[in-house]
């Protein structure tokens, strides 16, 4: 990994000379690099500067002083941290048990069903589950009424219970995906060897499996943590007025136009991301242990110990029920007049022109952003891996960092940075697309990089050898071979762009709104059924597009690569 | 071998969905033996090993270890230890922790554990490596750690899954000797699985040749090579020429005459009982056939002497492989230690000497059809 200084210098010189000779590559690299800096780094700098009083032209800690003086904001910080810790530990625990069960299960069918259930929340904006929870446990909710009539208990989901539950459901897919991945890639012979040596299954689980997948568990935990802290919509809908960093940052901007305090809150939001990003890239990578080589090829047939299976199954069934229930309730609320009060079938909730046009806008923006991310991802990956351009590593880091920055911070940063010349972009669709692209470029890039490493350079060399230029080779050989990573980048960005809300809500302008933003707005006004109906539309659109795209991939040659 | 076998496998059936991996396997393994399951991939050899180790549970049939029924007993409660093909060393534990893992699970006292570890690591020449992690070891060292980890538990049965397949030629020879030495020192019973006939012949006391989920033949390497029970076995261990044959006459000592596509031949029928008129397959090992340019002087003492024509000769260094033609039959002949400048040219007329100890097997339709 580490090159000597001389080598690095030589490489720099080489790549500079190389770039000078390839104006196309040079300009591409320059454009991507500049965009990354301009749309990821600069907005964050604006936020930090504003929190330190940049608007008045002085550097002051006054706003931070205010933050700590007022217990309300101080509590927002501690609430956000408590929430993130709680949700992360619950999600990681539940997901580990769920993923372990799915990964080690003998029945393929049940595993597929369980996996699908765990992944469905991806189809919807995460705050959607607050709507279901309100229908169930709100003041007039089904469960609340039941509890009141049976035991005379007054139950309300608003507040901690609601926020935690909603975030667990919303973040479940993220934790599950990562943990299933690491559990599957683990060499099962290691577990078998442990039991062969006489260790019981609990001992094997605690002494072999968990230590070996620990890097994966930590990584999943960090991601869930970032997402939980950055989520401003869930506390807004179901938080019952409790202060949280992201939510209050939003309210400060939209309600009071207090940019300074919003910037302070945003600073506290972005700090954990920075710390976690550092941990992930420097601490975790060094500690990951490589498993000793060897193909095992055999599937484990060892029966899970009764106590492990019992506990894991019960917890996983509960998780699955929670997810299915949350989705079922959205479905049901969308089609009845007032859920639980007047259960007559109706389609009224679907008749909203604003809602439908918002969906259309979303679709447009998501498709455009997804295409740009997929394409730029391939190009940047190519420049990174094959051209070995100086600074490509930094560009990669910025792109990855951009994915982790809370949307609220990006939103505030964009408002601060781009609402005046020279770049007056607020109030346009362009800036929404830019925010979507830059926040997901990392995915396209990583997919491209791993694909390129997998392809190997031989095929390109063969193409040059037969007389094709580099540009021609890129379009005729590299691009087709990278089809699968292109599609991956596209699908991921599309899904995120359809469902994400945090940055977009700052950037929508009068007359134009996005699907997810519209749903949040009506939910906030208490029109739960309308929100549910439009959420259903959004989920259907995402599911349909996903279905078509995956079908398209498996039909074409892309599936085989 | 009047003693009770240490392992008895009786009629074991194992299915994976629609695929039958083991179709009623039975085998006895005696104390101190090295037994090898030999066969191509997909023959069920690894499945059988994993059933014995407790990693798979059979659908039917019984397994006994030391006289006790062990059906359904999980690996951690069986007195067998598996040596995995990829070693399955725990990457987060160093050599000492890996080796003593089984003792620790069994709650041995620290001093005792250290004593046993020292003993086994010295024996396997890994002393001084206790603190290293698996990824700091060479392939051969990793393998020895895996072996030490298995041996320290003093199992009744050591199961080796393709123990030599991941090694280069030098290490292979070293490891082979090591396994044999360890058996002698510890009087272990070892079962190992391989698809490599040389490995099987050089290590095993007994070879069980497996095919399509069952054991086709079991015996000493010598016996199986010399008297294969089927074309499949003859083909898998070494190579062979097969000739359709019919018994013409036979006396009570087994001295017989058979008729084949390449003419009449005298053979000794000692292993199988044949009557005149019975049909079978004669198995001719390429290295048992001799080739000479001149007609041998005393024909009657040289077994069967036949005239043939060279079709093709391939020089392989230590040997030369010839394809020769007799009538319409093509035979493969292997000449060991060829003299210099002795490569015969296509078209050369030669004399083949085929000894009388040709092995004749019954023609069994069901077993012969699949062995292409």
What is the mean predicted confidence (pLDDT) over A26-53? Answer: 87
B134 touches chain A (CB under 8 A): yes
Cα distance between the two ends of chain A: 29
Give the model's confidence band at A283: pLDDT under 50 very low, under 70 low, under 90 confident, else very high.
low
A444: nearest Cα among A403, A479, A489, A482 = A489
Give the model's confidence band at A459: pLDDT under 50 very low, under 70 low, under 90 confident, else very high.
confident
Cα maximum dimension of chain B: 77
Q: Do residues A365 and A274 share a domain?
A: no
The two three-digit tokens of residue B62, written as one number: 């019984």
Place of tokens 């920055």: A405
DSSP state of A161: H
What is the mean predicted confidence (pLDDT) over A474-485? Answer: 81
d(CA B124, CA A74): 63
What is the mean predicted confidence (pLDDT) over A335-349? Answer: 81
Q: Do residues A379 and A244 share a domain?
A: no
Is residue A417 within 8 A of residue A42, CB to CB? The reply is yes
Q: What is the pLDDT of residue B7?
A: 94
From A174-178, A423-427, A523-527, the region with the lowest mean pLDDT: A423-427
Q: What is the pLDDT of residue A169?
A: 94
Q: What is the pLDDT of residue A4?
A: 46
Q: What is the pLDDT of residue A545?
A: 86
Burial, A187: exposed, middle or buried (Cβ in 10 Å; 0-12, 13-18, 19+)? buried
Q: What is the pLDDT of residue A286?
A: 43
Q: Ranked by mean pLDDT, which of A233-242, B294-303, B337-346 comes out on top?
A: A233-242
The verdict on residue A20 lying in a domain is no
Q: Say if residue A7's pLDDT is above 60.
A: no
Phi, psi (deg, nearest 5) at residue A351: -90, 85
Of residues B171 and B21, more confidence is placed in B21
The verdict on residue A147 lying in a domain is no
Q: How many CA atoms lie within 13 A of B317 on its CB side?
A: 0
B19 touches chain A (CB under 8 A): no
Per CB distance under 8 Å, which residues of A are interface residues toward B? 187, 189-190, 192-201, 203, 208, 211-212, 289-296, 298, 300-303
Q: Say if residue A327's pLDDT is above 50.
A: yes
Give the helix ranges, DSSP H, for A298-428: 306-335, 353-382, 392-404, 407-417
**Which of A199, A291, A298 shows the shortest C-beta gap to B76?**
A199
Give the model's confidence band at A297: pLDDT under 50 very low, under 70 low, under 90 confident, else very high.
very low
Q: What is the pLDDT of residue B184?
A: 85
What is the mean predicted confidence (pLDDT) over B148-177? Answer: 85
The verdict on residue A173 lying in a domain is yes
What is the mean predicted confidence (pLDDT) over A349-377? Answer: 88
Q: Say if residue B157's pLDDT is above 90.
A: yes
DSSP state of A231: -
Distance from CA of A192 to the nearest CA of B (A): 7
Place of tokens 């002085």: A58
The verdict on residue A393 lying in a domain is yes
Is residue A269 within 8 A of residue A409, CB to CB? The reply is yes
What is the mean predicted confidence (pLDDT) over A116-126? Answer: 89
Helix or strand holding residue A192 (H, E): helix A188-196
Phi, psi (deg, nearest 5) at residue A354: -55, -45
Give the model's confidence band at B9: pLDDT under 50 very low, under 70 low, under 90 confident, else very high.
very high
The two three-digit tokens of residue A483, written as one number: 């089809």
Reported residue count of chain A is 561
Q: What is the pLDDT of residue A308?
A: 86
A268: nearest Cα among A14, A77, A56 = A77
Q: What is the pLDDT of residue A91?
A: 96
What is the mean predicted confidence (pLDDT) over B13-21? Answer: 89
The two three-digit tokens of residue A132, written as one number: 């279901």
Distance from CA of A209 to the nearest CA of B (A): 10
The verdict on residue A39 lying in a domain is no
Phi, psi (deg, nearest 5) at residue A525: -80, -5
| Last residue in a domain, options A277, A312, A329 | A329
d(CA A517, CA A362): 9
- B184 contact partners, CB below 8 Å, separation of at least 6: none
> Quick check: helix, strand or coil at residue B217?
strand
d(CA A540, CA A542): 5
d(CA A246, CA A281): 25
Give the model's confidence band at A526: pLDDT under 50 very low, under 70 low, under 90 confident, else very high.
confident
d(CA B255, CA B243): 19
Sheet holding B304-315, edge to edge: B290-292, B349-354, B304-315, B319-326, B329-336
Reported residue count of chain B is 372
Q: What is the pLDDT of residue B45?
A: 92
Q: Say if residue A81's pLDDT is above 90.
A: yes
Residue A524, domain CATH: 1.10.3720.10
Q: How many CA atoms lie within 13 A of A158 on its CB side?
A: 14
Q: Do residues A86 and A234 share a domain?
A: yes
Q: Do residues A323 and A367 share a domain?
A: no
Q: How many CA atoms lie within 13 A of B166 on its CB side?
A: 21
**Which of A198, A201, A296 shows the shortest C-beta gap to B102?**
A198
Distance of CA B101 to the CA centre of its chain: 32
Residue A62: other Cβ atoms inside 10 A: 14
Q: Do residues A365 and A298 share a domain?
A: no
Give the model's confidence band at A507: pLDDT under 50 very low, under 70 low, under 90 confident, else very high.
confident
The two three-digit tokens of residue B207, written as one number: 């070879």
Q: What is the pLDDT of residues A312-324, one digit of tens each?
A: 999 999 999 999 9
A531: nearest Cα among A230, A238, A117 = A238
Distance from CA of A207 to the nearest CA of B (A): 10
> Quick check: helix, strand or coil at residue B55?
coil
B198: nearest Cα among B218, B172, B166, B178 = B172
Q: Say if residue A2's pLDDT is above 80.
A: no
Q: Report CB contact under 8 Å: B82, A190.
A: no
Q: What is the pLDDT of residue B250?
A: 85
- B37 contact partners, CB below 8 Å, separation of at least 6: B45, B48, B49, B191, B192, B193, B194, B208, B210
Distance from CA of A194 to the nearest CA of B (A): 8
Closest residue of chain A to B138, computed from CA coordinates:
A292
d(CA B261, CA B243): 7
d(CA A501, CA A520): 9
Q: Do residues A513 and A398 share a domain?
A: yes
Distance from CA of B130 to the nearest CA of A (A): 17
Q: Say if residue A287's pLDDT is above 50.
A: no
Which CA distances in Å does A321 have to A37, A133, B223? 44, 13, 63
Q: Do residues A454 and A541 share a domain?
A: yes
Q: Do residues A397 and A251 share a domain?
A: no
Structural domain range at position A310: 75-127+161-329
Place of tokens 């691009």: A479
The verdict on residue A336 lying in a domain is no
Q: Say if residue B300's pLDDT is above 70.
A: no
Q: Quote the mean pLDDT of chain B.
A: 86
The two three-digit tokens of residue A229, written as one number: 């802290």
Q: Do residues A79 and A165 share a domain?
A: yes
Q: Report CB contact under 8 Å: A194, B53.
A: no
Q: Quote the mean pLDDT of chain A.
A: 83
d(CA A52, CA B11): 81
Sheet holding B190-194, edge to edge: B80-83, B157-161, B190-194, B34-38, B206-211, B214-219
* Cβ pairs A/B, distance under 8 A: 97
The two three-digit tokens of residue A31, written as one number: 């454009």
Q: What is the pLDDT of residues B249-270, one digit of tens each?
A: 888 777 888 888 888 888 888 7
- Which B-chain residues 298-337 have CB contacts (< 8 A) with chain A? none
- A362 contact partners, CB below 8 Å, separation of at least 6: A497, A498, A514, A515, A516, A538
Is residue A471 within 8 A of residue A522, CB to CB? The reply is no
Q: Report CB contact under 8 Å: B75, A200.
A: no
Q: Do residues A368 and A325 share a domain?
A: no
Q: Say if residue B364's pLDDT is above 70.
A: no
Is residue A543 within 8 A of residue A384, CB to CB? The reply is no
Q: Report CB contact under 8 Å: B88, A199.
A: no
Which CA distances in Å does B53 have to A193, A298, B47? 11, 14, 10
Residue A149: other Cβ atoms inside 10 A: 9
Q: What is the pLDDT of residue A148?
A: 80
Q: Say if residue B368's pLDDT is above 60.
A: no
Strands B241-250 and B349-354: unpaired
d(CA A535, CA A522): 11
**Which of A189, A198, A200 shows the shortest C-beta gap to B88?**
A189
| Last residue in a domain, options A329, A346, A374 | A329
The verdict on residue A134 lying in a domain is no
d(CA A178, CA A535): 26
Distance from CA of A102 to the nearest CA of B (A): 19
Question: What is the share, in percent, of chain B residues with pLDDT greater than 70?
Answer: 95
What is the mean predicted confidence (pLDDT) over A203-209? Answer: 89
The two three-digit tokens of residue B313, written as one number: 């000769």
Closest residue of chain A to B46, computed from CA coordinates:
A298
Q: Say if residue B239's pLDDT is above 90.
A: no
The verdict on residue A153 lying in a domain is no
Q: Do residues A83 and A231 share a domain?
A: yes
Contacts made by residues A76-80, CB under 8 angstroms, sequence distance 24+: A76/A243, A76/A244, A76/A245, A76/A247, A76/A248, A76/A265, A77/A245, A77/A268, A79/A242, A79/A243, A79/A244, A79/A245, A80/A229, A80/A244, A80/A245, A80/A246, A80/A268, A80/A269
**Which of A196, A292, A298 shows the shortest C-beta gap to B89?**
A292
Number of structural domains chain A divides into? 2
Is residue A181 within 8 A of residue A217, CB to CB? The reply is no
Q: What is the pLDDT of residue A293?
A: 37
What residues are paired with B16 via a beta bridge?
B19
d(CA B205, CA B228): 16
Q: Give B133's contacts in chain A (Cβ within 8 Å).
A: 289
Q: Do residues A300 and A385 share a domain?
A: no
Of residues A501 and B13, more confidence is placed in B13
What is the mean predicted confidence (pLDDT) over A202-230? Answer: 89
What residues are paired with B9 via a beta bridge?
B27, B63
Q: What is the pLDDT of residue A302?
A: 65
Q: What is the pLDDT of residues B22-40, one digit of tens each?
A: 999 999 999 989 999 999 9
Give the model's confidence band at B366: pLDDT under 50 very low, under 70 low, under 90 confident, else very high.
very low
| Last residue in a domain, options A311, A329, A347 | A329
């Amino acid at each position: 990994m580490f090159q000597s200084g001389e080598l690095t210098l030589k490489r720099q010189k080489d790549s500079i000379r190389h770039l000078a000779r390839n104006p196309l590559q040079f300009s591409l690299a320059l454009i991507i690099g500049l965009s990354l800096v301009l749309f990821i780094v600069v907005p964050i700098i604006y936020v930090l500067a504003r929190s330190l009083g940049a608007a008045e032209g002085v550097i002051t800690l006054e706003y931070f002083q205010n933050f700590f003086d007022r217990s309300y904001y101080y509590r927002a910080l501690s609430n956000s941290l408590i929430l993130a810790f709680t949700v992360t530990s619950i999600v990681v625990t539940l997901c580990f048990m769920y993923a372990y069960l799915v990964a080690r299960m003998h029945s393929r069918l049940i595993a597929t069903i369980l996996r699908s259930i765990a992944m469905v929340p991806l189809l919807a904006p995460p705050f959607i589950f607050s709507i279901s929870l309100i229908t169930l446990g709100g003041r007039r909710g089904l469960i609340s009424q039941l509890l009141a009539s049976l035991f005379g208990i007054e139950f309300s989901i608003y507040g901690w219970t609601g926020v935690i539950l909603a975030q667990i459901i919303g973040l479940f897919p993220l934790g599950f995906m990562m943990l299933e991945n690491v559990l599957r890639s683990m060499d099962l012979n290691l577990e078998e060897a442990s039991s062969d040596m006489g260790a019981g299954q609990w001992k094997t689980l605690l002494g072999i499996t968990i230590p070996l997948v620990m890097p994966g568990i930590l990584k999943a935990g960090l991601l869930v943590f970032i997402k939980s802290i950055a989520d401003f919509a869930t506390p807004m809908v179901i938080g019952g007025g409790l202060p949280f960093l992201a939510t209050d940052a939003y309210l400060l901007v939209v309600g009071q136009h207090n940019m300074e305090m919003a910037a302070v809150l945003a600073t506290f939001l972005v700090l954990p991301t920075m710390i976690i990003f550092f941990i992930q890239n420097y601490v975790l990578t060094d500690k990951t242990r490589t498993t000793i080589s060897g193909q095992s090829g055999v599937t484990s047939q060892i029966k899970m110990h009764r106590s492990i299976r019992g506990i894991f199954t019960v917890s996983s069934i509960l998780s699955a029920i929670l997810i299915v229930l949350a989705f079922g309730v959205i479905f049901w609320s969308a089609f009845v007049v007032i859920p639980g009060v007047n259960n007559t079938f109706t389609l009224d909730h679907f008749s909203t022109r604003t809602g439908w046009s918002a969906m259309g806008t979303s679709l447009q923006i998501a498709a455009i952003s997804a295409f740009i991310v997929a394409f730029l991802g391939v190009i940047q990956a190519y420049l990174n891996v094959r051209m070995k351009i100086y600074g490509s590593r930094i560009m990669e880091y910025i792109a990855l960092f951009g994915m982790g920055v809370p949307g609220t911070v990006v939103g505030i940063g964009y408002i601060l940075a781009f609402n005046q010349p020279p770049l007056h972009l607020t109030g346009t669709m362009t800036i929404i697309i830019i925010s979507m692209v830059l926040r997901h470029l990392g995915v396209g890039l990583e997919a491209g990089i791993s694909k390129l490493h997998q392809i190997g350079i031989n095929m390109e060399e063969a193409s040059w050898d037969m007389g094709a230029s580099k540009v021609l080779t890129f379009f005729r050989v590299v691009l087709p071979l990278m089809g699968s990573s292109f599609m991956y980048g596209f699908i991921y960005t599309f899904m995120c762009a359809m469902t994400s809300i945090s940055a977009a809500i700052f950037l929508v302008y009068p007359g134009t709104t996005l699907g997810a933003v519209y749903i949040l707005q009506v939910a906030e006004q208490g029109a739960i059924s309308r929100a549910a109906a439009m959420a259903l539309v959004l989920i259907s659109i995402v599911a349909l597009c996903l279905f078509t795209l995956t079908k398209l991939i498996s039909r074409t040659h892309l599936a085989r690569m | 071998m009047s003693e009770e076998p240490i392992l008895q496998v009786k009629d074991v059936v194992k299915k994976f969905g629609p695929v039958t991996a083991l179709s009623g396997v039975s085998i006895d393994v005696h104390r101190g033996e090295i037994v090898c399951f030999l066969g191509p991939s997909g023959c069920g050899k690894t499945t059988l090993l994993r059933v014995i180790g407790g990693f798979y549970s059979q659908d039917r049939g019984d397994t006994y270890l030391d006289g006790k029924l062990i059906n359904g007993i999980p690996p951690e409660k069986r007195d067998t230890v598996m040596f995995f093909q990829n070693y399955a060393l725990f990457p987060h534990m160093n050599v000492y922790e890996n080796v003593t893992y089984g003792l620790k699970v069994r709650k041995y006292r620290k001093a005792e554990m250290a004593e046993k570890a020292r003993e086994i690591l010295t024996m396997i020449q890994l002393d001084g490596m206790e603190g290293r992690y698996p990824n700091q070891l060479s392939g051969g060292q990793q393998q020895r750690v895996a072996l030490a980890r298995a041996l320290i538990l003093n199992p009744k049965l050591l199961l080796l899954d393709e123990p030599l397949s991941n090694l280069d030629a030098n290490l292979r020879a070293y490891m082979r000797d090591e396994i044999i030495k360890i058996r002698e020192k510890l009087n272990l019973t070892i079962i190992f699985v391989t698809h490599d006939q040389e490995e099987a012949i050089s290590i095993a006391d007994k070879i069980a040749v497996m095919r399509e989920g069952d054991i086709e033949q079991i015996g000493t390497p010598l016996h199986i090579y010399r008297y294969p029970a089927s074309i499949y076995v003859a083909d898998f261990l070494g190579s062979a020429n097969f000739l359709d044959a019919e018994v013409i006459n036979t006396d009570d000592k087994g001295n017989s005459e058979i008729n084949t596509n390449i003419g009449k031949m005298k053979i000794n029928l000692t292993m199988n009982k044949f009557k005149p008129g019975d049909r079978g397959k004669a198995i001719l090992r390429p290295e048992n056939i001799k080739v000479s340019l001149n007609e041998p002087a005393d024909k009657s003492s040289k077994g069967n002497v036949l005239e043939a024509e060279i079709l093709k000769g391939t020089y392989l260094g230590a040997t030369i492989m010839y394809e020769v033609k007799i009538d319409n039959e093509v035979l493969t002949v292997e000449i060991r230690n060829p003299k210099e400048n002795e490569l015969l040219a296509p078209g050369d007329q030669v004399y083949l000497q085929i000894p009388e100890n040709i092995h004749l097997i019954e023609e069994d339709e069901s077993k012969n059809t699949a062995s292409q």
